[in-house]
Amino acid sequence: MRFSTVPAALATIICFAAAAAATPVGIPTDGDLGFQPSASPIMDQLYGFHTLLLIIIFGISLLVLGLLVWAMVRYSHKRHPEPRRFSHNTTVEVIWTVVPILILVLIAVPSFRILYDQDVIPEADFTIKTTGNQWNWTYQYPDHGGFEFVSSMVNDEFLAEHPFTAHRNLTTDVPVVVPINAVVRMQVTASDVIHSWTIPSFGIKMDGIPGRLNETWFQATREGIFYGQCSEICGIRHAFMPIEVHVVPQEVFDAWTVAAQADPYTAIDVLTAYYDSLRDDARLASAR
Ligand SMILES: [Cu+2]
């Protein structure tokens, strides 16, 4: 009896793993609070830093509130009709100068570390160059034969035809594809006005400025479909130039690049086949 539960548990795990692989991240869901789930080491660091700040802010707020209440109660006119006349207290002044300095140092250390890690690009596996245009993104893969495509938001007809897989203001006609765990050097520029390329789950945001080539990097540590939106007010359709990144296994990425070198606009078929196979695996596993 006990042994028969093992394949069932295994099937459930496979089922969850397969379902998780193509899970969209960065779409609004009911009851969401806080950041989008992290999918990179930088975002992990940002998440930790944010939590540290939250604890510090909470502590300071509680302390100040407590002191206020204590002063109001202890030194009210009723309890303390005759105020004392002193105007300085060296001990208290030293404490309220030194303690904030210590808190700022405590904040500065991880803050500078994250800034450094974001700024210094580790040895990259390959480069993607993106150019912001009013109102879409051009992508180039210079290390994979230099193919290039334009990624635009899908229209309402497409949304109506794909109600479960397409997301309003987020889904693009040609997504960016990267392999899991690869270090990607991201070059960002623009052709007309300032745009900003971002994927919140990767902890990355970089302005695309005409005539300037900005660089940043990311390492996606989780399979899935990740979304971002242009984050620099760039004109009337600023809200309609989304960013969609698919993080897939290396072999799927390799197959996609081969297909994209021939025609980047139909290479998405490789991804569709991969997601279909995941779904079939999950169905098989749950049927067993
Ligand atoms: Cu823009």
What are the residues whose beta carbon lies below 5 Å from ligand 1 (ion)?
Answer: 195, 230, 234
Q: Give the per-residue pLDDT at 266.
A: 94
49-63 pLDDT per residue, tens: 999 999 999 999 999
Q: Which domains does the chain have, with CATH numbers?
A: 41-119 (1.10.287), 126-287 (2.60.40.420)
Strand partners, 224: 247
Q: Give the per-residue pLDDT at 20.
A: 52
Residue 14 above 50 pLDDT? no
Q: How close is the Cα of 10 to the center of ligand 1, in Å?
A: 45
The residue among 266 and 10 whose pLDDT is bigger is 266
The pTM assigned to this predicted structure is: 0.84
Q: How close is the Cα of 187 to the center of ligand 1, in Å?
A: 15
Q: Give the per-residue pLDDT at 92.
A: 92
66-121 pLDDT per residue, tens: 999 999 999 999 998 888 888 899 999 999 999 999 999 999 999 999 999 999 99
Q: How close is the Cα of 237 to the center of ligand 1, in Å?
A: 8
Residue 259 above 90 pLDDT? yes
Arithmetic mean of pLDDT, 169-187:
96
Q: What is the DSSP string of 40-97?
A: SHHHHHHHHHHHHHHHHHHHHHHHHHHHHHHHHHHT-TTT--S-------HHHHHHHH
Q: Give the per-residue pLDDT at 13.
A: 41
Average pLDDT, the chain: 90
